[in-house]
Amino acid sequence: MIALKLAYRNLVGAGIRTWLNVFVLSIAYVLIIYFNGLMSGWNREARRDTINWEIANGQYWQKDYDPYDPFSFNDSHSAIPSVFNSKIDEGKIVPILISEATIYPEGRIQSIVLKGISTNQKILKLPTYELNVEIAEIPGIIGKRFSKNTNLKKDDLVTVRWRDANGTFDAAEIRIISVFNCNVPTVDNGQIWIPLDDLQKMKQMPDEATILVNGDELKVNSEIVGWVYKDIEFLVMDITKIIKTKRIGSSFFYIIILALAMLAIFDTQVLSIFKRQKEIGTYVAMGMTRKQVVTLFTVEGAFHAVLAAIVGAIYGIPILAYVAKIGFKIPEGSDDMGLAMADVIYPFFSLMLIVSTIILVFLITTIVSYLPARKISKMEPTDAIKGKIQ
Amino acid sequence: MEQSKIITIKNLVKKFPVGKGFFIALNGINTGFEQGEFAGLVGPSGSGKTTLLNIIGSLDSPSEGSAEVLGYSVGSLTHKQAAMLRRQHIGFIFQTFNLLPVYTVFENIEFPLLLMNMTATERTKAVHDAIEWVGLGDKIKSRPAMLSGGECQRVAIARAMVKKPEIVLADEPTANLDAENSHHILQTMEKLNKELKTTFIFATHDEKVINYLHRKIQLFDGKIAKDELIKSI
Ligand SMILES: Nc1ncnc2c1ncn2[C@@H]1O[C@H](COP(=O)(O)OP(=O)(O)OP(=O)(O)O)[C@@H](O)[C@H]1O
Ligand SMILES: [Mg+2]
C-alpha cells in the first residue's frame, strides 16, 4: 500500500519523462487492442458467414469426400441413408451432390465444381429459390467472385461437360439465373450451383449425395455407415488457422512499439536508480529493508503501465469505439485469402481482450522495471547515502 | 551502571578492503553510551567518525570485536533485523539533509511512521508534535526545494525524532548551515534530548557543535584518543 502511494508520487514528480514513457506505452495498449480486435472481428464475421452460407450446424460427409481433392468427387457419393428422409422432408437436412465438370466460357476451358442443391432449402443463405424456374436449359447460380473471374453474368449461357456414373462424357447448357453476393469463397470460387434433381439426373445418381448439411440443432445420434459427421469446429478450423497466422503477422507493429516503450522504461529505471542513490540510502537508514526498496522502485516502474492504461483509455476508447462503428475497409485486391472477408471488417473488442492486454502489458512493464531495481539490493547503504556509487 | 548502557562497543575493528590489502578505519574501539547522552565523536577528517556512527546505526558491521546496540549485536543481525532495529529505535540526521524532494514537509516527517504501521490519526498527531518541536508549523505543506538549509535540517530532525527513537545519530548536521541556523538546530536537539531522554551521538569537527556536547570522544587514526565529560547530565 505504502509502496503504491510512494511510487505514484515519485513517478508523477518525475515529470515530462514519465509522461513520455506513459504516452508511448499507451500507444502500445491501443495498438494491441486494435489489431487483436480487428482479427477477432474478422474471425467472428468469417465464422458467422461461413456458418450461414456453407456449414449450418455441421455436415455429414460421404466417407470418401475430401474437399481439397476434386478427384475424390468421382467416388464420394452414396445413396442418402433412409434415416434422414424425414429430416430432409422437414427441411432440416439439405443434401448436396458434388461433381467435377468443365465449362467453356468465351471459348476457354475451365475446370469447375458443380454442386446440386435442393432448391427449396432454407438452411443456407444461398439463394437457391432462384433456381425454381421453368427454362429449357439447366438453371445455375454463381457467386460474385466466380462471375468476375469467368466474366459470366446473369442470363449468360455456358456449356458444361461432365462424366456420369458410368464414366461417359456428356454436355449441356447452363443459364446463369443470378449472381449472389457472398463473402465466403468456398461457396463461390470455381463452382456453379444447380438444382439437385438436375445434377442427379445428369450424373445418373438418383437419390445420391456427397454431403448432407445439418440445419438441425442435434445431429442424428446413431452411427451411419459410410458417412462421417463433421461439426462446426472442424469445419471452421481453416478460418481459425488462417486468422491465427494473420494475428501473428499483425503483432509485428505493436511488438515494436511495446519494445520501444519497454526500452524507455528500462532506461528510465536505470537512470533513476543511479540518480537516486542518496534517496535509496535514506530509505534504508530509515528502516526500509532492501526488499522493500526494490519493491518500491519496481512498483514505481510498473506504475507506468497503470498511467498508460488511463491515458490510453482517454484517447483510445473514443478512437476504438469509432473504428468499431465504421469498420475497417479492406483494400481492393486483397480478396482471395481463402476465407471469408467482407468489404468492411468491424473490429470486435471483447472485455477479455482488453483485460488480458492490460494484464500482459502490466506484467511486462513490471519485469522490465524489476530488472534494474534488483541492483539496489547489492548497494552498500553507507555508500548509497553519500551517493558515491559509480 | 552497566544496566543503563544502551550501546556497548568492545575491541571494535573496522577494515575496508583496499586493493589487495585492508585499510583499518577503526582500530580497537572500546566505549559505551548511556541513555540520554548528548555525545560527540570529534576528530580530523578520516579519523573514523562516520564509520563508527554507521556501525552503531547498523548500516555497517564490525570486522572484529562487537557493537551491541539496545541488546542487539550489530555484527550478527540479518539485513532485515538491522532494518527493523533502525526502523523502531534509531533516527538519522545527515549532513546533506537527505529529504525526499517530491514529498511535502508533512510527508517527509510522516515517512518513518508509514514503515511502522501506525494508523493515520496516530501518524498525523505524531507529525504535528514533531513539527511543533522544530518550530515549522507554517511550512507543513512546503516542499524541500522551497525551504532554506536550516529549515531543511529542522525537517530532518523532526523526521528522525517523530518516532521517538532511543538513539539519534547525526553526522555533521551543521556542515551545510550558517552559524545562526547551526545554533538553532543544536538548541532544538538539546531541548529534545532533555525532554525525551533521547540519546544523541554526533560526528563532527564543528566547534559550534562541540560547545553543546556533554561528552566529547576524540578519535584519531581509528582509535579513541580522549574521552571526556564536559557537562554532567
Ligand atoms: N567504504 C570504504 N572503503 C574504503 N575506505 C573507506 C570506506 N569508508 C571509509 N573509508 C576510509 O576510512 C577512513 C575513515 O573514514 P570516515 O568516513 O569514518 O572518516 P570521518 O572521520 O568521518 O571523516 P570526515 O570528517 O572527512 O567525514 C577514511 O580514511 C576513509 O577513506
Ligand atoms: Mg564523516
Mapping DSSP onto H, E and C, the string for chain B reads CHHHEEEEEEEEEEEEEECCEEEEEEEEEEEEEECCCEEEEECCCCCCHHHHHHHHCCCCCCCEEEEEECCEEHHHCCHHHHHHHHHHHEEEECCCCCCCCCCCHHHHHHHHHHCCCCCHHHHHHHHHHHHHHHCCHHHCCCCHHHCCHHHHHHHHHHHHHCCCCCEEEEECCCCCCCHHHHHHHHHHHHHHHHHHCCEEEEEECCHHHHHHCCEEEEEECCEEEEEEECCCC
Q: Report the range of poorest mean pLDDT among A213-222, A230-239, A358-367.
A: A213-222
Mean pLDDT over A58-86 rounds to: 90
Model confidence at A389, pLDDT cuts 50, 70, 90, reads low
CA nearest A384 in B: which residue?
Answer: B59
pLDDT of A339 strictly over 90: no
Locate the domains of chain A by residue range.
2-52+238-386, 59-230
Mean pLDDT of chain A: 89
Mean pLDDT over A374-380 rounds to: 87
Q: Report yes or no: B79 at the A interface, CB cutoff 8 Å.
A: yes
pLDDT at residue A252 in the model: 86
Mean pLDDT over A341-367 rounds to: 90
Please tell me if the CB atom of residue B51 comes closer than 6 angstroms to any atom of ligand 1: yes
Please tell me if the CB atom of residue B149 comes closer than 6 angstroms to any atom of ligand 1: no
pLDDT at residue B154 in the model: 93
Mean pLDDT over A33-44 rounds to: 90
Instruction: From residue A275, give the alpha-carbon distance in Å to each of A48, A278, A284, A384.
Output: 57, 8, 16, 10
pTM as predicted: 0.80
Q: Report the range of poorest mean pLDDT among A71-85, A212-226, B21-35, B97-111.
A: A212-226
pLDDT of A273 strictly over 50: yes
pLDDT of A336 strictly over 60: no
B chain contacts of residue A291, beta-carbon cutoff 8 Å: 80
Q: Ligand 1, residue B205: give the atom nearest the CA.
A: 25
CA distance A330 to chain B (A): 51
What does CATH list as the number for B5-229?
Answer: 3.40.50.300
pLDDT of A334 strictly over 60: no
pLDDT at residue A272 in the model: 86
In which residue ranges of chain B is pLDDT below 50? 1-2
Mean pLDDT over A204-218 rounds to: 89
According to DSSP, the β-strands at A138-143 and A169-180 are parallel
pLDDT of A333 strictly over 60: no
pLDDT at residue B1 in the model: 44
pLDDT of A1 strictly over 70: no
pLDDT at residue B232 in the model: 59
Mean pLDDT over A273-299 rounds to: 91
Mean pLDDT over A59-67 rounds to: 92
State the ipTM, two decimals. 0.94
CA distance A383 to chain B (A): 10
pLDDT at residue A341 in the model: 67
Q: How far apart are CA A81 and CA A89, in angstroms?
A: 13
Q: Report the range of poorest mean pLDDT among A1-15, A19-33, A169-183, B93-107.
A: A1-15
pLDDT at residue A314 in the model: 96
Q: Ligand 1, residue B44: give the atom nearest the CA.
A: 25
* pLDDT tens track for A168-201: 999 999 999 999 999 888 899 999 999 999 999 9
pLDDT of A49 strictly over 80: yes
Count of Cβ atoms closer than 10 Å to residue B121 Cβ: 8
- Chain A residues with a Cβ under 8 Å from any Cβ in chain B: 2, 9-10, 12-14, 278-279, 281-282, 284-292, 380-382, 385
Question: Which amino acid type is present at position B129?
Answer: D
Model confidence at A74, pLDDT cuts 50, 70, 90, reads confident
Burial class (CB in 10 A: 0-12, 13-18, 19+), A69: exposed
Model confidence at A377, pLDDT cuts 50, 70, 90, reads confident
Model confidence at A221, pLDDT cuts 50, 70, 90, reads low
Instruction: For ligand 1, pick from B14, B15, B18, B23 the residue to mutate: most ligand atoms within 8 Å of CB.
Output: B23
